[in-house]
């Protein structure tokens, strides 16, 4: 081991002596910066992942459409399922309805799902707050939590449903026909955690939707779930190419990408804002090392007298910055992973103390704080922290290398 | 006769102060041959330490030249000088200058590490510490050693890189008489054993008298002593 590396280590971590305060303070700064960055970025990743999962669950990874009704959905679904990347493909129909309950009208989006698909039913069962999927049939609907709140709907209750087609018929009959709504039962209330879906959505069976919209055996498209490991954008292009015209694939990113972009933007902004902690820590390292250079002036003179080159003296202090960065990063990662692991205990304790329990669920629709550790982010944070700490050692190192050995040896 | 290890020719050095320039060294000539022992005496502030620093290449003269072997140090970069110094010169100071974070053995080994003499470094360092009578204190930190013991460690550290010249700047200045005598005796014996030239700056006439040649610095001028 080169002597300057050895001395750098022994200055920072001397044997048989107490841990130097300056080392402790410098390392602590990096530890805190690293840990906070890790936790915040992981939580943002977790939010992004959860939202992406919930959007994909309600929207599907891809939707195959033609711009018109599709009648041969069975054939299309089979063709899609035969593709390696496709996990499931089920027909759907969607539109707008008006719900009337206790004289209060609301116009939510409605999605007709294929109840023959266990996967489709399983997905919504996961998000049910009340009710049972076994009760979900062609005469019932699932309503989102926001809609249930606004219309005061409850499981087992009846609600009147009007479609634009009914309005059209009324207009065509010049008011001679009576407008008879379709009475449906509320089979369940769901909450996905994706605010847009939870505010104003009704789920019904595809058969009911075909009936309401007079679609016959047709559907508006086929919803596709991809197998794990397939990227949505490139896969949508290859599926579109494979199916050929008039089919084309739309991804949820085309319609809801803006929401995720906001999460991504927030993540980046938080990274830069919180990275300031690491930069502040680097100034702490720099000032500590500068004081250390002054304290060790005579020693630096001694090194020169023993034959050390100015570059070796500089390396000695530069390596101290590097070692502070590495040590801080290791402990910071340990603290960060610990905080991420116990994040829900920590947030629930804080909520209990502040008396704001369940705020996470109320605001974000999550009963827990999501977090997702992505290795690329963690490696990036670690490397940046080490780099900044090393750079913080450069000025003290330069100052040490510029010391006049004679003056250094004379210093008190 | 063999080539001098270090030769100072007409060396002069002056420092600027608020009272004007102070001529610390004026036309100093000194030749250090292999195995020679030389003493330099003089009053405080007479320029003894400045002369040692110039001989060691830590300071540059304003006039004249210092030649190590056959090369004038004025023509060398500070990095090159440092590398040559590491193998040519060992230095011992009045205040020991041990690294407080390192144990006695590690302090000695540091001298070898810096000069790049890493072969059998630990064994050689241990042997040298045994020689200076500190076989039992190798694992001690400098703070737990007495002044005499610290200076012995400093001497061992200076000699571990097997220098050809040892420049000792008042090595007994901080020691009581008995300890000083013991350290001085040991230093001289080690230099004779290893055929290392010794330049001793001292106020002690007895120590100066033991050297092959004695010099006195008076008002910047180096004169032959008695």
Domain region containing B40:
6-224
**Torsional class of A130: left (φ above 0), alpha (ψ -120 to 50), beta (otherwise):** beta
CATH at B116: 3.40.50.300
Q: Give the pLDDT confidence of A363-409 residue by residue, as tens digits.
A: 555 667 888 898 998 999 899 889 988 888 888 888 888 888 888 88
Whether residue A101 sits in one domain with residue A78: yes
Coil, helix or strand at residue B131: helix
Question: Do A213 and A71 have their domain in common?
Answer: yes
**Chain segment A28-55, per-residue pLDDT in tens:** 888 998 899 899 889 888 887 877 777 7
- Tell me if B65 is assigned to some domain: yes
Mean pLDDT of B99-106: 89
DSSP assignment of B161-199, as one string? T--SEEEEESTTTTS-HHHHHHHHHHHHHHHHHHT-EEE
Question: Is A58 a domain residue?
Answer: no
Nearest CA in chain B to A1: B113
Residue A289 structure tokens: 């090392």
Inspect the interface and report whether the beta carbons of B99 and A3 lie closer than 8 Å. Answer: no
Q: Give long-range contacts, CB 8 A cutoff, 24+ apart: A269-272.
A: A270/A40, A270/A41, A270/A44, A271/A37, A271/A40, A271/A41
Q: List B216's β-bridge partners, or say none.
A: B41, B223
**How far is the C-alpha of B121 from the C-alpha of B118, rounded, in Å?**
5
- Contact criterion met (CB below 8 Å) for B88 and A307: no
A178 pLDDT tier (thresholds 50, 70, 90): low
A368 and A344 co-located in one domain: yes
- Where in the sequence is the domain holding A90, given as residue range(s)? 67-246
- pLDDT tens by residue, B25-38: 888 888 888 888 89
Question: Is residue A254 a part of any domain in this protein?
Answer: no
Which helix (H) or strand (E) element contains residue A300?
helix A297-305
Domain edge (last residue) among A191, A218, A246 = A246
Q: Which of B59, B95, B114 sits opposite A3 (nearest CB)?
A: B114
**Alpha carbon of residue B156 to chain centroid:** 12
Tell me if A206 is assigned to some domain. yes
**In the structure, what pLDDT confidence band is assigned to residue B109 with cuts at 50, 70 and 90?**
very high
* Tens-place pLDDT, residues A256-312: 767 667 777 887 888 888 888 778 888 888 888 888 888 888 888 888 888 888 899
A216 occurs within a structural domain: yes
Q: Name the band, by pLDDT with cuts 50, 70 and 90, for residue B107.
A: very high
| A193, A124: one domain | yes
Residue range B151-171: mean pLDDT, rounded: 89
CA distance A138 to A210: 10
Please report which helix (H) or strand (E) contains residue A91, including its range: strand A86-96
**Please, what is the angle between helix A310-341 and helix A375-392, to 10°?**
150
Average pLDDT over residues A331-358: 85
Q: What's the rounded mean pLDDT across residues B187-203? A: 87
For the residues B42-68, what does the mean pLDDT come to? Answer: 86
Average pLDDT over residues B196-215: 88
**Interface contact flag, B99 A309, Cβ < 8 Å:** no
Distance CA A323, CA A380 (A): 18
Residue B1 belongs to a domain: no
Do the beta carbons of residue A320 and residue A288 sit within 8 Å?
no
Mean per-residue pLDDT, A208-219: 85
Residue A273 within a domain: yes
Cβ–Cβ < 8 Å for B161, B88: no
The overall average pLDDT reported for chain A is: 83
Position A326 scores a pLDDT of 93
Under DSSP, the state recorded for B73 is G
Cβ distance A308 to B91 less than 8 Å, yes or no, reads no
Q: Do the beta carbons of residue B137 and residue B151 sit within 8 Å? A: no
Residue A127 and residue A23 share a domain = no
A200 within 8 A of A138, measured Cβ to Cβ: no
The answer to whether B103 touches B209, Cβ cutoff 8 Å, is no
Global ipTM:
0.85
Q: Which residues of chain B lie closer than 8 angstroms to A309, CB-CB?
A: 78-79, 82-83
Q: Residue for token digits 């087609």?
A: A165
The DSSP bridge pattern shows strands B165-169 and B197-201 to be parallel
Which of A246, A272, A296 delimits the end of a domain?
A246
Question: What was the pLDDT predicted at A364?
Answer: 58
Q: Is the peptide bond before A246 cis (omega within 30 degrees of 0)?
A: yes
Q: Which residue of B has its CA nearest to A4?
A: B114
Give the containing element (helix H, strand E) for B12: strand B6-17
Rounded CA-CA distance A47/A26 in Å is 32
A47 part of a folded domain: yes
Strands B165-169 and B221-224: unpaired
**Chain B: nearest CA to A383, how far in angstroms?**
30
Span B131-139, average pLDDT:
86
Cα–Cα distances (Å) from A401 to A101, A296, A310, in that order, read 82, 12, 5
Query: What is the distance between the alpha carbons of residues A344 and A34, in angstroms, rounded to a whole number?
Result: 20
Q: pLDDT tens across A351-364, in order?
A: 788 776 555 555 55
> In the listed set A218, A246, A274, which residue is the last one of a domain according to the structure?
A246
pLDDT above 90 for B178: no
pLDDT band at A336 (very low <50, low <70, confident <90, very high): very high
Strand partners, B37: B198
CB contact under 8 A, A406 and B83: no
CA distance to partner chain A, nearest, from residue B206 (Å):
27
The answer to whether A304 contacts B58, with C-beta atoms less than 8 Å apart, is: yes
User: Regarding predicted confidence, which is higher, B167 or A257?
Assistant: B167
Q: Please give the Cα distance from B78 to B55 (Å, whole number).
A: 14
Average pLDDT over residues B133-153: 88
Q: Which of B59, B114, B115 shows the shortest C-beta gap to A406? A: B59
Question: Between the CA atoms of A152, A155, A157 and A161, what dihedral angle is there, to the nearest 10 degrees?
Answer: 80
Q: What is the DSSP string of A21-47?
A: HHHHHHHHHHHHHHHHHHHHHHHHHHH
Residue A313, pLDDT > 70, answer yes
Mean pLDDT of A150-163: 87
Which band of pLDDT confidence, cut at 50, 70 and 90, is reported for residue A179? low
pLDDT of residue A352: 80
Q: How many domains does chain A have?
A: 2
Number of domains in chain B: 1
Mean pLDDT of A146-164: 87
Beta strands in A133-258 (DSSP E): 140-144, 158-162, 182-190, 201-205, 221-226, 248-251
The verdict on A98 and A198 lying in the same domain is yes
pLDDT at A120: 67
Contact between residue A141 and residue A159 where contact means Cβ atoms under 8 Å apart: yes
Instruction: Identify all chain B residues contacting A23, using CB atoms and an 8 Å cutoff.
Output: none
Round to whole Å and give the CA distance between B208 and B201.
Answer: 8
pLDDT of B161 over the 80 cut = yes
* Nearest residue in A to B60, CA atom: A406
Interface list for chain A against chain B, based on CB atoms closer than 8 Å: 2-3, 6-7, 10-11, 14-17, 298-299, 301-312, 405-406, 409
Closest-approach residue (CA) in chain A for B51: A406
């Amino acid at each position: 081991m080169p002597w300057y590396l050895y001395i750098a280590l022994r200055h920072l971590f001397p044997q048989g002596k107490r841990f130097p305060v300056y080392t402790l303070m410098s390392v602590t700064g990096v530890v805190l910066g690293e840990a906070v960055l890790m936790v915040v970025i992981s939580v943002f990743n977790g939010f992004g992942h959860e939202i992406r999962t919930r959007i994909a669950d309600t929207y599907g990874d891809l939707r195959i459409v033609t711009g018109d009704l599709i009648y041969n959905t069975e054939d299309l679904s089979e063709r899609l399922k035969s593709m390696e990347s496709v996990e499931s493909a089920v027909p759907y129909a969607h539109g707008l309805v008006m719900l009337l309950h206790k004289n209060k009208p609301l116009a939510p989006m409605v999605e007709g799902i294929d109840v023959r698909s266990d996967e489709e039913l399983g997905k919504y069962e996961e998000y049910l707050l009340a009710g049972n999927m076994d009760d979900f049939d062609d005469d019932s609907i699932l309503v989102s939590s926001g809609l249930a709140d606004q219309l005061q709907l409850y499981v087992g209750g009846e609600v009147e449903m009007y479609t634009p087609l009914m309005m059209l018929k009324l207009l065509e009959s010049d008011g001679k026909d009576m407008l008879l709504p379709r009475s449906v039962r509320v089979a369940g209330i769901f909450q996905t955690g994706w605010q847009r879906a939870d505010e104003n959505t009704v789920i019904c069976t595809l058969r009911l939707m075909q009936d309401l919209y007079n679609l016959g055996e047709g559907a508006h498209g086929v919803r596709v779930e991809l197998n794990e490991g397939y990227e949505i954008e490139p896969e949508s292009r290859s599926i579109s190419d494979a199916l050929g015209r008039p089919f084309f694939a739309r991804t949820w990113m085309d319609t809801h990408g803006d929401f995720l972009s906001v999460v991504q933007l927030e993540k980046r902004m938080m990274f830069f804002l919180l990275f300031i902690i690491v930069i502040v820590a680097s100034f702490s390292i720099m000032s500590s090392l500068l004081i250390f250079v002054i304290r060790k002036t005579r020693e630096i003179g001694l090194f020169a007298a023993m034959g050390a080159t100015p570059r070796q003296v500089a390396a000695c202090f530069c390596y101290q910055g590097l070692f502070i960065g590495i040590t801080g990063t290791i402990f910071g990662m340990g603290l960060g992973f610990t905080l991420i692991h116990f994040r829900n205990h920590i947030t629930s304790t804080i909520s209990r103390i502040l008396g704001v329990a369940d705020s996470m669920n109320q605001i974000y629709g999550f009963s827990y704080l999501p977090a997702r550790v992505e290795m690329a982010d963690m490696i990036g944070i670690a490397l940046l922290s080490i780099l900044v700490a090393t750079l913080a050692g450069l000025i003290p190192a330069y100052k040490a290398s510029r010391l006049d050995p004679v003056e250094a040896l004379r210093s008190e | 006769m063999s080539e001098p290890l270090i030769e100072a020719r007409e060396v002069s050095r002056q420092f600027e102060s608020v009272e004007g320039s102070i001529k610390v060294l004026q036309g100093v000539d000194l030749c250090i041959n292999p195995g020679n022992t030389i003493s330099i005496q003089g009053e405080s502030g007479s320029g003894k330490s400045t002369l040692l620093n110039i001989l060691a290449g830590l300071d540059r003269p304003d006039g004249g030249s210092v030649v190590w072997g056959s090369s004038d140090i004025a023509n060398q970069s500070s990095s090159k000088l440092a590398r040559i110094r590491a193998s040519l010169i060992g230095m011992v100071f009045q205040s020991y200058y041990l690294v407080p974070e390192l144990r006695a053995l590690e302090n000695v080994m540091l001298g070898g590490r810096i000069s790049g003499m890493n072969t059998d470094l630990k064994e050689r360092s241990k042997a040298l510490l045994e020689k200076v009578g500190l076989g039992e204190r190798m694992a001690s930190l400098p703070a737990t050693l007495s002044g005499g013991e610290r200076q012995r460690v400093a001497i061992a550290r200076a000699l571990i890189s097997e220098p050809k010249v040892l420049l000792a700047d008042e090595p007994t200045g901080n020691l009581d008489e008995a300890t000083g005598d013991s350290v001085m005796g040991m230093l001289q014996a080690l230099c004779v054993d290893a055929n290392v030239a010794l330049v001793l700056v001292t106020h002690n006439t007895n120590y100066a008298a033991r050297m092959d040649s004695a010099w006195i610095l008076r008002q910047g001028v180096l004169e032959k002593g008695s």
